[in-house]
Amino acid sequence: MTPALLAAGVSKTYRIPDIPKRATIKDVVVRHLRREDGVAVVDALCDVSFSVGPGQSLGVVGRNGSGKTTLIRVLAGVCRPDSGEVRVSGTRSALLALGVGFHPDLTGRENARVGLLSLGLSRRQTGDRMDEVIAFSELGDFIDAPIHTYSTGMYMRLAFSVAVAVEPDVLLLDEVLAVGDPAFANKCLALMDHFRSNGTTMAIATQDFHVVRERCDLALWLQEGKVAAFGAPPQVLAAYGDFLQMQEGENAS
């Protein structure tokens, strides 16, 4: 069986000439840095390998700065690995971290239209899907307000609505349930279940153990950019949970 998602020896390093005192990039703030020739170097991913079969769901867990977001971006084609190979079969749609993909000065409607076109829909298909996107986002009249006036939850509602409107073969999600109200989060989970039942392959970066345990066939634990564990969710989550408890104990002592 040909994998729907494949990563083989994937590595990604960021070189950062200057780091401001109030840097906000998770990989810079949280992760340990090394310096080469006066330049800060972050090893975001180190020799990461795994495969996910068609219709399977992968939950990616790990602490902030572990490489989860970088992995989802590499799978989405937003950035290229420095080494290794990535294969994604079929059409893919991604919902990445806030701030990616939308222009703050455009309205929600305009950003939704651009987003659908960028995912490969024709102008006619985009027009046909707009009402569906607006209805799912539950933004009402705010759909015609500039994005920069949106709250974080409103932004995520629109971004998720656009990402799932194309019914992709592969859906890549980065912390999508960490923002927004519980009712909308449950609505997103229900739609994810729909995609899963229809054979969509998913990779979900999340801190929510329940989502991984109940909705994923496989789990991947990243630690400092490396694969700490990969396999069945109960075993991977148990190992990751033990690690977190050990870290808490060390910090308390």
SS3 240: helix
Which residues have C-beta within 8 Å of that of residue 210, sequence separation ≥ 6?
none
Q: What tokens were used for 176?
A: 């999508």
Instruction: Give the pLDDT confidence of 107-142 residue by residue, as tens digits.
Output: 999 999 998 888 788 899 999 999 999 998 889 999
> Residues 137-176, buried b or exposed e (16+ Cβ, 10 A)?
bbbeebbeeebeebeeebbbbbbbbbbbbbebbbbbbbbb
Concatenated DSSP letters for 146-169? Answer: BGGGS-HHHHHHHHHHHHHTT--S
Domains of the chain, each with CATH number or no CATH: 1-90+215-253 (3.40.50)
pLDDT by 10s per residue, the chain, length 253:
789 999 999 999 987 765 544 444 444 444 456 666 667 778 899 999 999 999 999 999 999 889 998 999 999 888 899 999 999 999 888 877 554 568 889 999 999 999 888 878 889 999 999 999 999 888 999 999 999 999 878 888 888 888 888 888 999 988 776 656 777 778 888 888 888 899 999 999 998 999 999 999 999 999 999 999 999 999 999 999 999 999 887 777 6
In the sheet where 218-223 sits, what is the strand order?
Answer: 92-95, 170-174, 201-205, 57-61, 218-223, 226-231
